[in-house]
Amino acid sequence: MTPAASAALAELTQHFDTTTLVRDPWRLAPLEIDHRERYRGRAAAALFPRSTAQVSAALEICHRHAMPVVPQGGNTSYCGAATPDASGDQLLLCLARMNRIRELRPIDDIMVAEAGCLLAELQQAATAADRLFPLQLGSAGSCQLGGNLSTNAGGTNVLRYGMARDLVLGLEVVLADGRVLETLGSLRKDNTGYDIKSLFLGAEGTLGVITAASLRLFPQPRSVATAFVALGSVQQAIELLAELRSAGGEELTSFELMPRAALQLLNRHLPDRQPPLPLDAPWFLLCELATARRGADTHHTLEDLLSAASERGLLGNAVIAQNERERQALWQLRESIPEAQRRAGPSLKHDVSVPVAVLPEFVTRGTALVEQTVSEGQLIAYGHAGDGNLHFNVSLRDGADAAAFSAREQTLRRAVHDLVHEFGGSFSAEHGIGQSKVEELERYAPALELELMRRIKLALDPQGIMNPGKVLKR
């Protein structure tokens, strides 16, 4: 350990008791590895603060000694954003114990919650107050608000409600030097200079630590209709998207595309989760209409829309969930795909987006690229097609050579990301940069944008202690 880190650790040890500052290797071990087990580091210690004042005190100490700090929420990052490096000099700052909902004011449609709240708990609290907190991710039961906001998470309701960034009215942030920036207002209108809070949303803990947020709430939908639809092509999917949007308007909340291959993986690895239709089409869609309007009947609207589209040859078979249990089963199918892919063995992941209009052409060219580049792989491209965002993932084929497959990772990544760039898309649509895409950001971000990012980093974290090596190079 560097002298600076051991001096900081000595001071932290004086300040915090052993239930708050944890150093036992067996307790650190699960925090030092990401959930996909692709990144493994070694932390000097892990701090579990219970209050903003404790976060502030810890950062003040770390800043004085230039000890690096890695904030961690539910440890569900796909990019290694919350995993320490191998030096053994970094302090893990785990927000899990800051898990209070400080306030919920239905009349203002806001909820003020701490960073360690589980997303599912926030959703439940909103529902109990007859409101909706619309962020929805498959990992809702384990991911935490601080991570959701720090990575500007997306998920399955972005089409209607936007990304995590769009759900925030104000933040409480502990800056690198320990000072606390408090903007936890409930104002929808506050037009007073630079929007400083937005810098911390999507910064992945590299500029400061989000400790609480005031969040926007929405009316609780009264009528929800969910369908599972067989489709002949991605082109049909985007034509159907246009129809659902023009007829359903803002009621269309989700539009999730899945290839047959993804559902076949479910068949094989999670056989208790079965699609309600035969797998005789190349693509399947899960779409949902929802509205809070009294007297609305989204079930009939969706039925009418789908039968009109079917008459025009836009889709194959379709089923609409008849009750909440069937709806949950459809969502479970979609949300189980990452788990099925994990059980199927190693995979090469690309979280990409392109303009919706070019999605069909992108998928055609991307599929050819995968076939040419990695013959050991099978493309499992699924996700938030309504946002132009696909998880363009490649799984190892049964019985194929795993070493040869892994050896193609960098070549494939370059080819896919270059293709995305050619289509005017993004190499990280919703999972962020973390440590896995730092090089990609250097390669694809406009030089001036990168320069501004570096200047902002320097202004807010002059010592470079906040999650170093994530998002930007050290």
Taking the complex as a whole, how short is the minimal distance between the CB of residue 3 and ligand 2HG, in angstroms?
Answer: 41
Question: How far is 88 from 101, CA to CA, in rounded Å?
Answer: 34
Buried residues in 147-172 as b, exposed as e (16+ CB within 10 A): bbbbbbbbbbbbbbbbbbeebbbbbb
Taking the complex as a whole, how short is the minimal distance between the CB of residue 464 and ligand 2HG, in angstroms?
Answer: 30
- Residue 138 vs 386, nearer CB to ligand 2HG: 138
Closest C-alpha among 56, 41, 46 to residue 18: 46
- Residue 138 vs 468, nearer CB to ligand 2HG: 138
The length of the chain in residues reads 474
Q: What is the DSSP string of 244-305?
A: HHHHHGGGEEEEEEEEHHHHHHHHHH-TTS--SS-S-SSEEEEEEEEE--TT--HHHHHHHH
Taking the complex as a whole, how short is the minimal distance between the CB of residue 408 and ligand 2HG, in angstroms?
Answer: 18
- Residue 200 vs 392, nearer CB to ligand 2HG: 392
- Residue 327 vs 349, nearer CB to ligand 2HG: 349
275 binds ligand 2HG (CB under 6 A): no
Taking the complex as a whole, how short is the minimal distance between the CB of residue 349 and ligand 2HG, in angstroms?
Answer: 5
User: Running DSSP on this structure, what letter comes out for residue 221?
Assistant: P
Distance in Å from the first CA to the final CA of the chain: 19
- Residue 301 vs 336, nearer CB to ligand 2HG: 336
Taking the complex as a whole, how short is the minimal distance between the CB of residue 383 and ligand 2HG, in angstroms?
Answer: 5
- Residue 41 vs 338, nearer CB to ligand 2HG: 338
Tell me the β-bridge partners of 204. Answer: none
Question: How far is 171 from 208, CA to CA, in rounded Å?
Answer: 11
428 binds ligand 2HG (CB under 6 A): no
Candidates 197, 349, 408, 417; binder of ligand 2HG (CB under 6 A) is: 349
Question: How far is 91 from 89, CA to CA, in rounded Å?
Answer: 7
Task: Write out the binding residues for ligand 2HG, residues 146-205 only, by CB under 6 A.
Answer: none
- Residue 216 vs 391, nearer CB to ligand 2HG: 391
The residue count for binding ligand 2HG (CB under 6 A) is 6
- Residue 144 vs 393, nearer CB to ligand 2HG: 393
Residues 6+ apart with CB under 8 A from 472: 206, 438, 441, 450, 453, 454, 457
Candidates 90, 206, 236, 393; binder of ligand 2HG (CB under 6 A) is: 393
84 binds ligand 2HG (CB under 6 A): no
205 near 177, Cβ under 8 Å? Answer: no
Candidates 35, 391, 413, 437; binder of ligand 2HG (CB under 6 A) is: 391
Candidates 138, 275, 316, 468; binder of ligand 2HG (CB under 6 A) is: 138
Give the residue ranges of DSSP H helices in 40-116: 52-65
Candidates 74, 84, 202, 338; binder of ligand 2HG (CB under 6 A) is: 338
Candidates 49, 68, 208, 383; binder of ligand 2HG (CB under 6 A) is: 383
Q: Which amino acid is at 57?
A: A
Would you tell me which residues interact with ligand 2HG (CB under 6 A)?
A: 138, 338, 349, 383, 391, 393
